[in-house]
Structure 1
Amino acid sequence: MKEAFVDKTVTVAVRDTEVPVPKPNQVLIRVVVSGTNPKDWKVPRWIPDAPPSNQGDDIAGFVEAVGEGVVGFKKGDKVAAFHEMMKPHGSYGEYAIAWEHTTFHLTSKTSFEEAATIPLAAMTAALGLYQRLSLPLPWNPTSEPLPLVIYGGATAVGAFGIKFATLSNIHPLIVVAGRGASFVEGLIDRSKGDTIIDYREGDEAVQSKIKAAAGNKPIHHALDAVSEHGSYLNLSAALTAPATISTVLPTKEGDVIPEGIKIDKTMVGTVHMDPTVGKTIEDREFGAAFFQFIGRGLAQGWFSGHPYEVRPGGLNGLEGALRDLEAGKASAVKYVVRIAETDGVQQ
């Protein structure tokens, strides 16, 4: 099969490799469309001594085979899945491996392109809101005003955060965005106090407008889908202690966070990890349940993927997509690739 490998210079090489065999509780998927994520170029940069690897994690395709113990899927099922990060056989290939518990069914309502925008980013948002910030879950929505700041509302993580928060009836949503503000406008509900703040107005303006958007009432929760360029510093200055900010990247050494403001990093890979000692149920079981919830939402129409742009050339077009991600060219859009467009692939 054809498979793409990304090296430390974000150069992509498409190679011929063997089709993997699923282990117990794993699913082998014939990939139709793969999504892309910023980590796909960041990880090779961060770990330059590592060999080139298949960094893709967002899978959409058909089940080809299942490992021992898999009962929820069979060959031919239309699915999307979240590949275990940093492991072999990711989504940048004709076939990929996923664990059964991070795979979910798709109906004819959902295209492979839309589905490929969902797994990593949507689960990051869900973990941040519900496991890190402990906000009310969609099936037990709040009935009281609950201000929430979402920094980076046009990013996939931020947009999915808005969608989940809306399902949980969390308002007012105070969303920080820039050139993607027009996209964010279609996600929020102004009648419930939701608003958008343009980060390009400067740090002081962002901080004061966040406070004003909540009517100068306390804000104790924030989802930071950017986690760089001072985003969590702006949030920590605007929130009222005790407060928690869920980030997607670690804080920088030397950054001063006010007392009473907790920074809790969300690492989406925890859905593939064992519970911590002394616990039975943690992020892995949350992920298993929430991926099925996402699948139901797609089927019933109350959840949707992120806007996408198909990058031409399949895996041969992947390098250009990753370089554009690195250059910050993507706003309110996910880059996806159709595997069948790769040179030498016949699907």
Structure 2
Amino acid sequence: MKEAIVSKGLKVEIVDSPIPKPNADQVLIKVVVSGSNPKDWKLAELRNVTGNAGDDIAGVVQEVGENVIEFKPGDRVGAFHQVLQPHGSYAEYAIAWQHATFHIPPKTTFEEAAAIPLAAMTAVVGLYGHLGLPQPWTPATESMALVIHGASSAVGAYAVQFARKSNIHPLICIAGKSRPYVETLIDRTKGDVVIDYRDGDDAVVEGLKKASAGLKLLYAFDATSEHNSYATVSKVLDEGAKITGVLPPDNYEFPPRISNSVVLVGNIHTTEKDFGFIYFRYITRALQEGWFKAQPQEVVPGGLGGIKKALEDLKAGKAHAVKYVFRIADTEGVA
């Protein structure tokens, strides 16, 4: 099979590799579309990791392990490949654990499914695992403000959708160029707002105060965790507030009144398997019901041959409210 190996300098080499075999609790998936994430370039550039960096899988089940009971060959599935392990989604075939695999409803495309796994799971781990917000099936019964910084990112957009399902309002969303996209996700009738970070930190702080007037501001999800976003949001959080993000804060010490955490989504493959199991199955239902939608996708030409450009664009911050995905069949040399 063809497989793309990413290394330092964002070099991408397409090699011939043997088709992997699933263990007893795994699924072998013939990849139709692979998704990408910012971590794909960061592993190579910041941690000098060489390997198949893809973790978002959408395709068709080829083979299952002896303990797998929910999936069979021929099923259309999405899956979250285990980070830093072999046999990722930048290949014709990939491996996923059964607890991190989900059925794709008929009306959901492979491109849409490839935009979901890692980012959606990061969103739900942040909202429900770290912030302890009401689950969608036991929604909030009173107003509770939630700040979502980076609401147009994949993680942020999925957090908005799940928070709405949990009846959490007002949602105070912070975005920039892609603000119009965020407007399609919120409910203005329930007090939800979008604040433009391009107006400056002082304007963001004032916007947060105005949007949360009369309410305690106790929850914040920083879906970008860059450019001093933690510090800006923390200025207006009340005593006992919780803030969680996707990256550790850079040279910032939180005030004693705030508890902070970082979402380690890879834990759903180790210490939080049950969490992953439940929410991936819930995502199937959410897609089927139509209240949950994938972030818009941009199909990068060339299949695996387009990975280098996509990762360079991700590094340069060119992706706005879009997921870069790769159709494997577009790869040179793939039948």
**TM-score interval (norm. to shorter):** over 0.9
> 1: distance between equivalents of 2:103 and 2:220?
31
TM superposition shift of 1:300:
2.2
The within-5 A match list for 1:62-211 is 62-211=60-209
Does the 8 Å CA contact 1:163/1:303 hold for their aligned counterparts?
Answer: yes
TM superposition shift of 1:216:
4.9
> 2: distance between equivalents of 1:234 and 1:217?
19
Aligned to 1:145, what secondary structure does the other structure show?
coil
Identify the residue that residue 239 of structure 2 maps to in structure 1: 241
Amino acid at match of 1:231: S
RMSD: 0.8
1:8 aligns with 2:5: no
TM superposition shift of 1:8:
1.2
The within-5 A match list for 1:19-98 is 19-48=19-48, 50=49, 52-98=50-96
Amino acid at match of 2:113: A
> 2: distance between equivalents of 1:301 and 1:317?
31
Aligned to 1:288, what secondary structure does the other structure show?
helix
Count residues in correspondence: 335
Of the candidates 315, 319, 334, which is equivalent to residue 330 of structure 1? 319
Structure 1 outlier segments of 4+, above 6 Å: none
1:264 aligns with 2:253: no
Amino acid at match of 1:8: K
Identify the residue that residue 225 of structure 2 maps to in structure 1: 227
> Residues 137-196 of structure 1: CA distance to partner in whole angstroms, max 9, x if unpaired?
000001100100000010000000000000000000000000000000000111100001
Does the 8 Å CA contact 1:211/1:217 hold for their aligned counterparts?
Answer: no
> 2: distance between equivalents of 1:210 and 1:314?
42
Amino acid at match of 1:12: V
For normalisation by structure 1, the TM-score amounts to 0.95
Amino acid at match of 2:180: S
For normalisation by structure 2, the TM-score amounts to 0.99
Amino acid at match of 2:290: G
Does the 8 Å CA contact 2:243/2:260 hold for their aligned counterparts?
Answer: yes
TM superposition shift of 1:241:
1.5
> Residues 90-129 of structure 1: CA distance to partner in whole angstroms, max 9, x if unpaired?
0000000000000001122100000000000000000000
Identify the residue that residue 303 of structure 2 maps to in structure 1: 314
Identity, in percent, stands at 53
TM superposition shift of 1:13:
0.8
Aligned to 1:285, what secondary structure does the other structure show?
helix
TM superposition shift of 1:302:
2.2
List runs of 5+ in structure 2 lacking aligned partners: none
Aligned to 2:307, what secondary structure does the other structure show?
helix
Aligned to 1:264, what secondary structure does the other structure show?
strand
TM superposition shift of 1:256:
2.6
